[in-house]
Amino acid sequence: MESWIMSENSKRTFPVSWEELHRNAKALAWRLLETHSWHGVIAVTRGGLVPAAIVARELDLRVIDTVCISSYDHQNQRGLQVLKGISADGIGDGAGWVVVDDLVDTGATAVEIRKMLPKAHLATIYAKPLGKPLVDTYVTEVSQDTWIHFPWDLEAQYAKPIKDGARD
């Protein structure tokens, strides 16, 4: 629900590989399978697109929509901007729908989604303490001062040793 470039307030970094993301998205699907029979998936763009696709596959859901919310400009968090909301046609108040995102950080995006879809089930792979109470299901908790580097934002390159100032 947030960005993936390291901010000034982050003290730790947490790089996520494609394999780890896939494994955690499948774990999210297992948890969701046990809770409800779903009408469909709503992905929060952009970070929720890949996890939502994996969840939809694992739960054999063919109806997928998106809600497009931006809260970051590259490295800087800013106010929320809803770029595309949800049509009420077929979705209504969100009952029976699962909204999937990669991360809940401060919870600002989750609050906005709850306004749109008050009865939807919010699910993320990663949850930080400030946002955790606002989601219904998550897989892994990380500290508030951790910046998650998702695989779609990473390139293979030289990494400094810890003794030379590496941050993770």
The question of whether 101 is a catalytic residue gets the answer yes
User: Half-sphere exposure (CA, 13 Å, Cβ side) for 40?
Assistant: 12
Distance between CA 108 and CA 104 in Å, rounded?
A: 8
**31 labeled part of a ligand binding site:** no
On whether 62 is known to bind a ligand per the annotation, the reply is no
Catalytic status, residue 93 = no
- Beta-carbon-side half-sphere exposure of residue 153 (alpha carbons within 13 Å): 16
Does the annotation place 152 within a ligand binding site? no
Phi, psi of 113 (to 5 degrees): -65, -40
Tell me: is residue 79 an annotated ligand-binding position.
no
Residue 27 is labelled as binding a ligand:
no
Q: Identify the active-site residue in 101, 136, 145, 168.
A: 101
d(CA 62, CA 99): 14
Active site residue 73: no
> Which position among 65, 73, 89, 102 bears the catalytic label?
102
Annotated binding site for guanine: 105, 148
Annotated binding site: 46-47, 78, 101-109, 147-148
Residue positions annotated with a catalytic role = 101-102, 105
